[in-house]
Structure 1
Amino acid sequence: MKRFITGLILAALLATGTAAAGKYAADTVSTFAQQKNQEKALLVQERIQETVTLLESLSTDPYIRSQKNSYQEKAALLTDKNQNENLGYMMLRILDAEINIYREDIGLASNLASRDYMQKLYTTGKTQVTDAFLAGADGKTINYTVAVAIMENSQAAGALMAAIYGDEIDGYLTDERSANVLVGSQLQYMGGVSKEQFGLAVAQVLENERNTTRPAENILVDLNEHKSGSFWSLGSHIQYVAYTPVEGTNWSVMTEVRVLPIVRNILIIYGCGAAVLLVSGILLLRPKKNRQEKTRPR
C-alpha cells in the first residue's frame, strides 16, 4: 500500500511539474515575442514620425516658402541638408503646385501627378506614407516614401517628400532570436524578407502554415483593421507569431519566434527534475531484500 501511495505522489509531482514547466515555457515564449514585436514596430514608427516631423518643419521654412527662390535652389538646399546632416534619406525633394518634382542638378525632373498617393496628398492635404516600392536608377532599390503638403490658404500649393531606404527599415527589423516582417497596406510582405519574398501575400503564407491556433481569415481581418494579435503555429517548427500595427501608417509588424531556442534552458531544468523524480521513484518502489537470513534447521 505504501508503494502505491508513493507511486501516486511521484506521478502527481511529475504531472504537476510537467504542467508548470509547459505553462512557464509558453508564457516565456509569448512574452518574448510580444515584447520583440512592440520593439520592432516602435523602431519603424519612430523613423516615420521623425521624417514627418522634419518635412512638416521644412514646409514652414521661410526659404522653402519664398517665391523668390527657384525650385532648383530649394532642391539644392534639401539635398545639402540630407547630406550634411547625415539624415540618411535616399532622396529629399520638393514639388510644385502641378506636382512637378525638382532636383538640384537639373531642376525639373519629372511629374508625379499619376501617383495615387500624390493625388491624395494634394486633394486632402493629409500626410502620405507609401508602401514599399522599387525605385532608383536601376529600378531595383526598395524604398518607402513620406510626403507632406506645403499648404497655402487651406490648399496644397506644393509638397515635400523623403524616400527611406528599404535596407534601413530592414535594419530595424533584424534580430538574432526572432524573424520580423513589415506588412503593407495590401497585406503583403515588404520589409525584413528576401527579394524573393518581397510582395508575397500574407494570405498565401498562412495557407502554408499548418495547425495555427487561430483561423487565417481572422488573422487577415486583424491586419486589415490594424489590430494587434497573436497565434501559435504548429508546423515543421513550433512557433509563436505576434503582430501589431505601426502607428501613423497602414503597416503592421509580424514577429515569429521559434519555441525551442527560447525554452531550451527550461527543458534542461525540467529534464533534470524529471530524472531526479524517476530515479527516486525507482529507488523507493523497488522491492526490499530480506536482510535477515532465515534460520536453517539443523
Structure 2
Amino acid sequence: MKRTGRKKISRICCLAASAFFIIVPCTGVAGYCSMAARTSCLSAHGQIRNNLESTLKLLEMISGEPWMMPEDIPYQEKAGRLDQYNEIWGYQMIRAVDTYGGVYRADKEEAVSNLNSREYIQTLWVTNEPQITDVFLAGADGTTLNYTVAFAVGGDAKNNGAVFAAIYDSDVRAVLASQPVHTVLLGKNQQCMSGNDESLLGTTLESRLKGKKILGESLEEALLRVKNEESGTIWYFEGIVPTCYAFQNIGLDSGWTVLSSASYTDVAGELMPAIVFSGIGAILSLTAFILLCRQDDQEDSEIPGK
C-alpha cells in the first residue's frame, strides 16, 4: 500500500512539473510581451511629447513678442526674424500668418500661400486655442508629410494673425523606427499617421482589430479605452498568436496616441533558451508520468485475479 501511495504521489508530481514547465513559460512570455510593448511605447511617447511640448512653448513665446503684432513691422521682416528662430531651435519652417491667412517668407514681400481654407486655421480664428494637426501632405513634391502647430498672436488670431511651426514626419518616423518593437503614431481618428510600415498608413485601429479575438473586452470597449484613457494594454489573437498592444496618449490636446505591439513570435527569439529548457522539462515530466503509469499497469497484470 505504501509503495502504491508513493507511486501515486510520483505521478502527481510529474503532472505538476509538466504543468509548471508549460504554464510558467507562457505567463512569462506574456509578461515579456507586455513589458516590451510598454517600454517602446513609453520611449516613443516621451520623445514625441517633448518635441510637441517644446514647439508649443516656443510658439507661445513668439506669439507674445510685440513685433509679431500686425502694425509693428512688415510681415516680410517678421519672417526674417522667424528664420533666426528656425536656425537657433532647429526648425525648418516657423512662419507668420496675417489676419487673412497669408503666409510670409523673408525673401518675398507678398504672401507666398494662404491657409484660410484650412480647418485648423478657421478653428484658430474662432477659438484662439493652439491648434495641432494630424499629418498631412504639405510639400510641393507631393511626398513631404508634416504636422502643423499654430498659435494665435497676442491671444487674438482674428485681429492679430498667427504663427505656426511645422514638425516633419521624417523626425517622428525616426523616433518610431528606433524602438525595439513595432511602434506607430495614431491620429485623432485613431488612424495610423506614421511608422516604418507604409502599408499601415491611414488604416485605423478599428480596422486592425476588427474580426480579431480580443481578450476581456469588446472591440468597442477597447477603442474607447484608447480614446479616453491615458495608457493601457490590449491583448488579442493575431491568428493563433497572442499579441499585446500598448498605448499611451500624447496629450496636450493633440489627439495623438503612440501604439506599440509585441507578439509571442516577436519575442520568441530572445526567450528561446528558456522556451527550449521548459519544453524539455515538460517532455521529460510527461515521459516520467507515462512510464510510471505503464509500470503500474504491468504490475497489476502480474497480480493473480487481475
Question: Structure 1 length normalisation: TM-score?
Answer: 0.85
CA distance in 2: counterparts of 1:95 and 1:66, whole angstroms: 10
**Which of 244, 247, 271 is 1:243 aligned to?**
247
When the two chains are superposed, the root-mean-square deviation of aligned CA atoms in Å is 2.7
**Which of 66, 71, 80 is 1:67 aligned to?**
71
CA distance in 1: counterparts of 2:140 and 2:156, whole angstroms: 37
CA distance in 2: counterparts of 1:261 and 1:116, whole angstroms: 40
CA distance in 2: counterparts of 1:187 and 1:154, whole angstroms: 29
- Counterpart of 2:7? 3
**Which of 187, 191, 194 is 2:190 aligned to?**
187
- Counterpart of 1:47? 51
Higher mean displacement: 129-138 or 236-245: 236-245
Whether contact under 8 Å (2:45, 2:250) holds in the other structure is: yes
Whether contact under 8 Å (2:36, 2:180) holds in the other structure is: no
Structure 1: gaps of 5 or more residues: 289-298
**What amino acid is the match of 1:31?**
M
CA distance in 2: counterparts of 1:275 and 1:60, whole angstroms: 71
- Counterpart of 1:101? 103
- Counterpart of 1:257? 262
Higher mean displacement: 112-121 or 233-242: 233-242
What percentage of aligned pairs have identical amino acids? 29
Whether contact under 8 Å (1:178, 1:258) holds in the other structure is: no
Whether contact under 8 Å (1:123, 1:156) holds in the other structure is: no
**Secondary structure of 1:217 counterpart:** helix
CA distance in 2: counterparts of 1:232 and 1:153, whole angstroms: 46
**Which of 136, 139, 164 is 2:139 aligned to?**
136
Quick one: structure 1 residues 28 and 156, their matched pair in 2 at CA, closer, same or farther if it must change by over 3 Å? farther
- Counterpart of 1:197? 200
Match runs of 1:1-298 below 5 Å = 1=4, 2-65=6-69, 67-82=71-86, 84-85=87-88, 87-89=90-92, 91-107=93-109, 108-151=111-154, 157-175=160-178, 177-207=180-210, 209-213=211-215, 214-225=217-228, 227-236=230-239, 237-248=241-252, 249-263=254-268, 264-265=271-272, 266-275=274-283, 277=285
- Counterpart of 2:299? none
Q: CA deviation at 1:272?
A: 4.1
CA distance in 2: counterparts of 1:195 and 1:76, whole angstroms: 36
Question: Structure 2 length normalisation: TM-score?
Answer: 0.82
Query: Which structure carries more relative contact order (alpha carbon 8 Å, separation 6+)?
Result: 2
- Paired residues in the alignment total 285
CA distance in 1: counterparts of 2:242 and 2:235, whole angstroms: 7
CA distance in 1: counterparts of 2:224 and 2:176, whole angstroms: 23
CA deviations over 1:117-166 (Å, ceiling 9, x no partner): 11111211111000000011123211100001112679651211011111
Structure 2: gaps of 5 or more residues: 297-306
**Secondary structure of 2:52 counterpart:** helix
Higher mean displacement: 153-162 or 168-177: 153-162
CA deviations over 1:265-293 (Å, ceiling 9, x no partner): 431332243355457668878869xxxxx
**What amino acid is the match of 1:250?**
G
CA distance in 2: counterparts of 1:32 and 1:71, whole angstroms: 49
Whether contact under 8 Å (2:43, 2:179) holds in the other structure is: no
